[in-house]
Structure 1
Amino acid sequence: MAPAITLAAEAPKLSAANTGFMLICSALVMLMTPGLAFFYGGMVRVKSTLNMLMMSFISLGIVTILWVLFGFSMAFGTDSGHLIGWNSDWIGLSGVDKGELWGTYNIPLLVFMVFQLMFAIITPALISGALADRVKFSAWALFITLWAIVVYFPVAHWVWGEGGWAFDMGVIDFAGGTAVHINAGAAALGVILVIGKRVGFKRDPMRPHSLPLVMLGAGLLWFGWFGFNAGSWLGNDDGVGALMFVNTQVATAAAMLAWLAYEKIRHGAFTTLGAASGAVAGLVAITPSGGAVSPVGAIAVGAIAGVLCAMAVGLKYKFGYDDSLDVVGVHLVGGVVGSLLIGFFASGKGQSEVEGLFYGGGLTQFWKQCAGVFAVLAYSLIVSAILAFILDKTMGMRVSEDEEIAGIDQAEHAETAYDFSGAGGGAAKTAAVAAAVGGAESKKVDA
């Protein structure tokens, strides 16, 4: 028998299947930002609809350019001090070949770059829901530019970049509980504490103007979230992505039902807004944890998040901070809940062998999760508040009170979301009807 020959490990080769899968996932995550725009756009009053849509859409433009020029390098380049990355070859993607693979994975670096770009886009867009009705569009555009550079890019490196302190510590964040949702939720809280409440907060009714639009947005988010979550494993070779896909559906369903049950008990009705908000709360909570828990664990994560987020949205009335569309109550609280529950429900049979308290692993992972959660929360809240304060004192963050009352759409965009004049509405139609009625009455008298 010929002697055995030991071969060196083969270098990874591009996988057409995984590359195609990741391109589809990237497109799904991109769709989430317009979905978020519809979700938020339906939740505001008519006079703020377009502004809400634009606050999400502008992130598609600004963050894309920043990410290509230097953001990707800051988030995923060679580590420096466990805080930030850098790779000069990635500046403007000038030194990246189309066939260059991402590390030891079998997908192109460009595919990983564009997948992570979609995360970078939606994260600042999430903040916008807390600021509805009252922020200058120019100030918002400058804020997300600065925020992406000094908050999102570094935090993404901490959590996902090789050498980042949270990554090296073993903090589990499968798809963005800390880097996306806690980051955005804490930023929202920091900004609203600086810029203050809407005119009429806790006095005037501020109900959603279009619940069908809210449901459409929630449906698009739910659909796109499968790419957001399952795609974060960067392939389909071992079934972890499939587990994440299943857990995403399971936790979202559980959270929606739990939110509705809480609403019925607390307020006596099952609301459409509650169903949509509960679904989003479940999506948020399973984002960090779905690769580590079983489907039964996902039910628990979703149900717990649904109830706690439903309770949390009312805190703004108790404590007096005006979180317009419940970004703090859903994204910050949901992200914290989902991240910390890993320490209890990690099964050791998903993305790693890490086990939580309920599977015999003790509290070791829970304390790691606490470190990641509260460090990101504190950093994002403080830095975001400082940025908002600087902008408010220089260019002014808010529109005038008169413009806010009249409607920010007209003031900032010179447009309105709905124009009924073409259907014969308005003063002209009213005058015509009055004239017709008056003529008819005159004929009756003459007769």
Structure 2
Amino acid sequence: MDLAYMAELPADEFVLRRQKLAAQLTDNSVFIVFSEVEKRRNNDCTYPFRQDSYFWYLTGFNEPNSALVIQKKGKLVETTIFVRPSNPLMEIWNGRRLGVERAAEKLHLDQAFSIDDFARIFGKICQNSTALYHYQGLQPWADQLLAETFISPPDYINWAPMLDEMRLFKSANEVRLMQQAGQITALGHMKAMRQTRPNRFEYEIESEILHEFNRFGARYPAYTTIVAGGENACILHYTENDQPLKDGDLVLIDAGCEFAMYAGDITRTFPVNGKFTQAQREIYQIVLNAQKRAIELLVAGNSIQRANDEVVRIKVKGLLDLGIMRGDIDELIANNAHREFYMHGLGHWLGLDVHDVGSYSKEGQNGDRNSKVRDRPLEIGMVLTVEPGLYISPKSDVPEQYKGIGVRIEDNILITEYGNKVLTAAAPKEIGDIEALMATER
């Protein structure tokens, strides 16, 4: 596996994004997006800083307490950034700052000012403008800053639909970073398979995964890692990771690295002792068949909804064949009987956020961002996860050998002109491949 990687986007990518956004703004308007701020963990300690994805998308700037302004007047577009001023004493204690003096040149913007002067300068920028674009409620500190700037708050235009649509389609540079995030994430899962043993704790396997991410330049996970042994796998967002792994159980691992701000997101399920039991094999193969068929269907022109409909049919038929479900397949699907065992969606957009932005529905393209129907035709450049699962509660009325089995298999795919590309194919998911990999370490 080639692990030579580009660790960041070129500066002109951010310039092009700003230009594309400016072209969508109304004439005589002002657009503003704010950075994230540091979050208190306890006393005077903070959580590791992670930049707001929207702000990063347009600037590539990784400091808190900042704001980007785009002013449009006819054909004239002017870009301004507000940043923390240089402070030698604070930089000794808490790290370097770009500072006002270097910000404009470094970030390829027209001008830069101190965030301490925001109210005075931004008020002047907005004079005589007829529209102000701002995502109210996203950053509380930003709303407060704007409230202090204006005597009476203006009517804001929410810019989220524009940026969400832009972020949904990945550039060639973004794809390279996401491919790398997928490869590093796959290495973490392979490490987990090699290191898993009966009686090791879930958190031990989590540490193996995070160590592997770090080794290849991904310092942080994209989300809280799930290592769920046995019936813990039937809890979709299980994150306690504090139980011993038992001989004869499966372990479900949902983990992804964040590489250069982009997320990987893989789930694999495998036997703690390296060998699937017959019952585990049967449930696993249903999920694998469903996932592989979904990947075949998730191509340009098709929708997530269409693929999910077929996934549901494959699962219900498989569960009927095993005697886990009983009845007529069409009636069971019509009555959503499968929701007892498959209660989530087939996948989600992936990018700067693990649950990335963008509408899933045809209606959402016209402004209804809350629509739950996932009938939007897929297009080239979209990246999404494919993650069917089956979760059989210990309390379910099913044959005893299937109780407490939870299986999910998840990959990341890029929609291309040739169909799709699986960005996470390095992580084994065929039963024979998993057992072979685990056997090499035993």
TM-score (norm 2): 0.27
1 or 2, which has the higher helix percentage? 1
TM-score (norm 1): 0.27
Greater relative CO, 1 or 2 (CA 8 Å, sep 6+): 1
1 or 2, which has the higher strand percentage? 2
